[in-house]
Structure 1
């Protein structure tokens, strides 16, 4: 998710309370926000989502959550995917009953989706020089 990392750098980096909304018509707004809780392995987390609306309700299309890793350079490690339009919520890495659970095939699927989404975001013009609102 190099596009998201570039946007974060331009916005001053990750910090508690981070909230960015990027308007880029005709595409849905992109929202990037710091989460209050740590990820499954303990690092800070980030939610990245497109939001639509249906019957007056905000709908994630999709939302992904990532841990912010710094070892070996800044990177984002996926652990969650959600799409409200298809009623799917998936955790590929999580803590369940005090144990770390890692679903390898689902994590690989999330990583592939994130890589494709990153390319699409860049091609659609969601870059650090677009209209960022915080």
Structure 2
């Protein structure tokens, strides 16, 4: 059996966490996932990518500091929908955290990207999704 691409493995991990395909999340709605003893995860469907038309999601842990919500961290991912018997994929497109302030974008402008950052962020995304699974994050019903 051929080895799956890391983007495919990350798609499968995220789909398992969400309980549904990532592209099925509703726009303008926050989905919360909780595991006892760990920070909640908030997942939101953002506007689709202007260049590719693909769905874009935000995955974020937040903490409160002086009344403000701070990302710790937040990543955006672009979803490639499965078709023609192929697996779905997700690709990290940005990373940010509030303290210390960090903001990294893989695609700074159309047709340009940072290969090293692309590899680094997608590896971190895989690590983070594995941790979320091991920590036991589960959906929280909407308030």
Under a length normalisation based on structure 2, what TM-score does the superposition of the two structures give? Answer: 0.79
2: distance between equivalents of 1:133 and 1:93? 34
Q: 1:12 to 1:46 in 2, by over 3 A?
A: closer
Q: CA contact under 8 A between 1:65 and 1:81: conserved in structure 2?
A: yes
Cα RMSD over matched residues?
A: 2.2
2: distance between equivalents of 1:29 and 1:58? 13
2: distance between equivalents of 1:114 and 1:11? 15
1:92 is matched with 106
Q: 1:36 to 1:12 in 2, by over 3 A?
A: closer
Q: Tell me the matched-pair count.
A: 128
Return the offset for 1:88.
Answer: 0.2
Secondary structure in structure 2 of the residue aligned to 1:102: coil
Instruction: Select 1:73's aligned residue among 62, 78, 87.
Output: 87
Return the offset for 1:86.
Answer: 1.3
Q: 1:75 to 1:10 in 2, by over 3 A?
A: closer
1:45 is matched with 56
Instruction: Select 2:118's aligned residue among 84, 107, 118.
Output: 107
Structure richer in strand, relative to its length: 1
